[in-house]
A and B are shown apart, each in its own frame.
Chain A
Amino acid sequence: MKYLGRRLIHAALLLIGVSFFSFALLQWAPGDFFDELQLNPRISARTVEALRVEYGLNQSLPVRYEHWLRSVAHGDLGFSLAYNSAVGPIIAVRARNTLVLTGAATLMAWLLGIPLGIWTATSGRGWANRILGVTTSTLLTIPDLLLFLCLLLLAVRTGWFPAGGMFSPSAEAAAFWPRAKDVFAHLFLPAFGLAVVSLPVLIRHVRSAMVDVLASPFLRAARGHGIPRMRVLFRYALPVAANPLISLFGFSVATMLSASLIAEVILSWPGLGPLLIEATLARDVYVVVATVLLSAVFLVFGNLLADLLLVAVDPRIRME
């Protein structure tokens, strides 16, 4: 409990730091949200200035940050200059969509990564293992952007997958199952892409953890006692190899989130990515800060969850 409390205080301080620095960086960047209006010959500079005053852009950084902190306390997360409404409801739906995507991708990555990692650790130096090694090395070198562009090309050229979005325009009136099927069809490609992004690292970590464990005397004894191979691997070896993998889980949340921003923009998934890019370019400060803060929350709690899992599965860490 004490450990949890300490971690939560650290997390809160980290989030305050992240929010302040993103706030300050946006403040220091040249130009503001209303600059574009200044170039509209049909809108006067007086109106633009009045809008700046109305939305408090003429106030100092500490004053604006304090106002923002208060709105965070109310759950609004600030006020979007573009949408003319509280930021909280704007990002809530998109955050859910991002979570759906990253959740599906994480599940896919781990469901593929663990068996493949174990297989590479146990299958010796066969040709299949070599092919997998080359494939993962190649995947590591491909930039995320290129990978998602290739997936988009695949969808457009073959027509096997939808070319973007979360629903088909025609699925709106459909019943639950056809609609769920439609969402799954749209989800598959971006989730698969994200899974592929994190798969090489995951496979290598699982492999290395398993190779270390498989050499342990207790596993040789288990095999000597005639326990079936699969039972040895999944029941005895994997739990022992789990520690570094659980830590990796915490980091993979961060990798997944940054990659998901690119996936969402290229494959038109209605998550936080397109909103963040649009808000950054438009200098919609509070939307950017809230989105960055939310990403930081996901990251911090991903790591916290991993640490708590470690505490739960490893009695040595509990003792420390």
Chain B
Amino acid sequence: MGRTRNRRHRAWGCGAIVVCALLAIWGATAIRPLNAAQPGEELAITETPVGRMGGSLVIALRSEPKTLNPALAVDDPSREVLGCLNADLIDINRQTLKTAPALAKSWEVSKDGKQYTLHLRRGLRFSDGQPFNADDVVFTFQVLLDEKIHSPQRDLLVIVDKPIAVEKIDDYTVRFSLAQPYAAADRIFDGIAILPRHLLEATYRDGKFPQAWSLSAPPSQFAGLGPFRLKEYVPGQRVVLERNPYYWKQDKSGNRLPYLNELQFLFVSNEDAEVIRFEAGDTDLLSRVGAENFTMLQKQQAAKGYHVADLGAGLEYNFLFFNLNDLSSKGKPEIAAKQAWFRDVRFRQAVSEAIDRADIVRLVYAGRATPLWGQVTPGNKLWIDSALPHPQCSLDHAKELLRSAGFSWKGDGTLVDPHGKAVEFSILTSSSNAQRTKMATIVQDDLSHLGMNVHIVPLEFRAMVARLLNSFDYEAVVMGIASGDADPTSEMNVWVSDGETHLWNLAGKPSTPWEAQMDKLMQQQEVTINYAKRKQLYDRVQEIVSQNLPVICLVSPNILVGAKDRVGNFRPAILDPYVLWNVEELYVR
């Protein structure tokens, strides 16, 4: 009897142990995410070489991020950090510059080009472990489109004055409806972080969304779909991110990314400080440096265990343009008198031909830049018109052009207009950008060979912008535009005459036949879905710009980056974020 009871006790005991073990295993799998994909999870698989799990990397930021609220961030440092904390529906692959699936595993476009149906990956979770579905997508776009929020991303989602409509089809399908076909519709999703509805909906309903996710909020209040999640923010010093254990990408061997356990952003005050910290070994990655620092780093790279790379021209283009605004109501007779020169295309062509772009490349960028004759840089391989002529610097031809426009030269070589007035004007530049001031100085020197008397006026950046956009109190400007995307639609505002950054003439309507033609071409390319047809249209825009020179394109600085040799899968790109676009794939060797 006693032996039977013992046996029974032993059987109960074994059973309890087995049940406990099973419960423990179930508990572990339910609470803690495994490295491998869970049943029902539709993870993306990357094609890069398999890396090593663990370790941490440090990168410098040239100023502190200002907010961690993706709907409100406008500054580069915030966007760089947010890029590691969040994910978008469709991504622009930084190496091909084409769109690629992200949180949306696929998408379809309706025949009329007005509806985009996105199919979301199933089984994904935010960094706090809560599930992701179509409700989060609908909530995100509701917030971004809300006029009271004043999200800077709202303008991307308003096409022909009508906001994109978002509709949930089922838990994993979302439909976006546009007022008219929009060629780059799939690209606008890049960089739009999907917000966790479960964390932010109440805040949004209470009207407190603009205050949410400021830097002072505790890390537990944040969640995203990016490879990392917030661990710590130390004001004035650093932001520390830790691995998101629920991230939705894995490598070819089935390891859930990211490889790194931790990523630190160290705040420094300027580029030189960034380079010094990199050299001193405090940081592992160098996001973008100037040519002088690059040359210095290049000399020491073999000895110091890092390597630097010149990726060629980025998307930034620097240019010179003249004030072609209507100044009749602005009371600036002196500038208005000079506009007779500026409006003559032969004058602008002569200026363009007198500028030695090779000198700018050599003297300003130590050879680390690319000369430009159009607004599209060689880095933008999808859209550059390679048939565009590259007229060489020719003083003789420039003088011929000026002579044909009625200009002549006095005995001392001074250029005078048909009324005998000496050609003299000033060029504004931003005093905080040393390269542009140097560039303006070279332009000044080149134009002096034509007998033009040019003055350089370096101004504090905001003071320059105020003159440019409000008072029109300038004659010429040297500045640059760094486009956020390779697609021409991102520059609609620059090239159509009612655009708010149609810098040379903010009249809001075309002043010349070629501007009217540019408007038409830009509007056509915006609604043309076929790439080849769009390319033809945009090639024509580039030709018009190079012939009529509303802006005289000068150079595009190369993208110069660096990394310690211990950083694996380092594949920098010419589109921002240059070195962190594949942060989930980076690893420590």
With A37-B74, A93-B235, A270-B237: A29-B463 Cβ-Cβ less than 8 Å: yes
With A94-B236, A164-B273: A47-B268 Cβ-Cβ less than 8 Å: no
A42 surroundings in chain B (CB, below 8 A)? 152, 155-156, 484, 490, 493
B214 surroundings in chain A (CB, below 8 A)? 83-85
Query: In whole angstroms, how far apart are the Cα atoms of A225 and B466 in the complex?
Result: 76
B155 surroundings in chain A (CB, below 8 A)? 42-44, 47
Map CB proximity to A onto B421-465 as digits: 1 under 8 Å, 0 otherwise: 000000000001000000000000000000000000000111101
Instruction: Decide if B240 touches A172 in the complex (CB within 8 Å).
Output: yes
Query: In whole angstroms, how far apart are the Cα atoms of A32 and B460 in the complex?
Result: 12
Task: Choose one: A39, A93, A271; the contact of B465 (CB below 8 Å).
Answer: A39
How many pairs of residues, A versus B, come closer than 8 Å at their CB atoms? 150
A245 surroundings in chain B (CB, below 8 A)? none
Comparing A15-23, A111-119, A275-283, the segment that makes contact with chain B is A275-283
Task: Choose one: A41, A84, A277; the contact of B494 (CB below 8 Å).
Answer: A41
Task: Choose one: A32, A35, A84; the contact of B72 (CB below 8 Å).
Answer: A84
A283 surroundings in chain B (CB, below 8 A)? 462
With A83-B215, A169-B264: A30-B463 Cβ-Cβ less than 8 Å: yes
Instruction: Decide if B236 touches A271 in the complex (CB within 8 Å).
Output: yes
Query: In whole angstroms, how far apart are the Cα atoms of A163 and B275 in the complex?
Result: 10
**Total count of chain B residues near the partner, CB < 8 A:** 61
A222 within 8 A of B: no
B150 surroundings in chain A (CB, below 8 A)? 47, 50-51, 54
Instruction: Decide if A270 touches B156 in the complex (CB within 8 Å).
Output: no
Question: Smallest distance from the beta carbon of A286 to chain B beta carbons, Å?
Answer: 14
Query: In whole angstroms, how far apart are the Cα atoms of A82 and B501 in the complex?
Result: 22
A51 surroundings in chain B (CB, below 8 A)? 150
B170 within 8 A of A: no
Q: For chain B, residues 328 to 368, give those with C-beta under 8 angstroms from any C-beta of chain A.
A: none
Task: Choose one: B216, B238, B282, B501; the contact of A85 (CB below 8 Å).
Answer: B216
B490 surroundings in chain A (CB, below 8 A)? 41-42
Query: In whole angstroms, how far apart are the Cα atoms of A84 and B72 in the complex?
Result: 9
B282 surroundings in chain A (CB, below 8 A)? 162-165, 168-169
B266 surroundings in chain A (CB, below 8 A)? 165, 169
With A41-B481, A163-B280: A281-B238 Cβ-Cβ less than 8 Å: no
A50 nearest CB neighbor, chain B only: B150
B484 nearest CB neighbor, chain A only: A42
Question: Smallest distance from the beta carbon of B64 to chain A beta carbons, Å?
Answer: 8
A159 surroundings in chain B (CB, below 8 A)? 280
Query: In whole angstroms, how far apart are the Cα atoms of A50 and B210 in the complex?
Result: 14
B58 surroundings in chain A (CB, below 8 A)? 169
Task: Choose one: A47, A82, A152, A277; the contact of B75 (CB below 8 Å).
Answer: A82
B466 surroundings in chain A (CB, below 8 A)? 30-31, 35
Instruction: Decide if A270 touches B267 in the complex (CB within 8 Å).
Output: yes
With A38-B469, A93-B236, A169-B266: A45-B500 Cβ-Cβ less than 8 Å: yes
Q: Interface residues, chain A, CB within 8 Å of chain B?
A: 29-32, 35-45, 47, 50-51, 54, 82-85, 89-90, 93-94, 97, 152, 155-156, 159, 162-169, 172, 265-266, 268, 270-271, 274-275, 277-278, 281, 283
28 contacts between A and B (CB under 8 A): A31-B466, A35-B462, A36-B465, A38-B465, A38-B469, A41-B481, A43-B152, A44-B493, A47-B150, A47-B155, A50-B150, A82-B66, A84-B66, A84-B67, A85-B211, A90-B235, A93-B235, A93-B236, A166-B237, A169-B264, A169-B266, A169-B282, A172-B232, A265-B269, A266-B269, A268-B269, A281-B461, A283-B462
Q: Interface residues, chain B, CB within 8 Å of chain A?
A: 58, 63-64, 66-67, 69, 72, 74-75, 147, 150, 152, 154-156, 158, 210-211, 214-216, 232, 234-238, 240, 264, 266-269, 273, 276-277, 279-280, 282-283, 432, 460-463, 465-469, 481, 483-484, 490-494, 499-501
Nearest first, the 3 A-B pairs at minimum CB distance are: A31-B462, A270-B236, A163-B280
